[in-house]
Amino acid sequence: MPTSVLATKLFVPARRPNLVARSRLTEQLNAGFDSGHRLTLISAPAGFGKTTLVSDWIDQNTRRRPDTRIAWLSLYDGDNDPTRLLTPLVAALQRCDEGLGADALTLLCAPHPVPVDTPMTPLLTHLPPSA
């Protein structure tokens, strides 16, 4: 079931030229990835370089491991509604695996609202296990 998602929300921002390397933080991201962690949360105030750090790390990581699949989702103020959050999340995950989240997306697009855990259950069930 096709869904309209703003495409710019799904693209990793380009790596900036003349970037100041943040080796310690990059090493922490690599350690989590190498340990098989499936999710990393990065939290800091606006303007502290989260996007720059992660886009640089993705650039480095995909050059080291070309088969790495990345799901990127940029969030905005209006994305605090479960449907407005989960719909583009599924779209981002489907860039890695086309069939991932199809059941969740069907539930999200249902004519009547469903509790947030209803689409989350099939989505989480079908996420691939960590390596």
pLDDT at 31: 93
Task: Tell which wins on pLDDT, 55 or 121.
Answer: 55
Task: Tell which wins on pLDDT, 16 or 126.
Answer: 16
In this structure, how many other beta carbons lie within 10 angstroms of the beta carbon of residue 39? 7
Return the amino acid letter for 38: R
pLDDT at 16: 81
Estimate to the nearest angstrom the gap between the alpha carbon of 53 and the chain centroid. 15
Instruction: Express each pLDDT in 27-55 by its tens digit.
Output: 999 999 889 887 788 999 999 999 999 99
Instruction: Express each pLDDT in 61-113 by its tens digit.
Output: 888 888 888 889 988 888 888 778 888 888 898 888 888 888 888 888 778 87
pLDDT at 119: 80
Element counts in the chain: helices (H) and strands (E): 5, 0
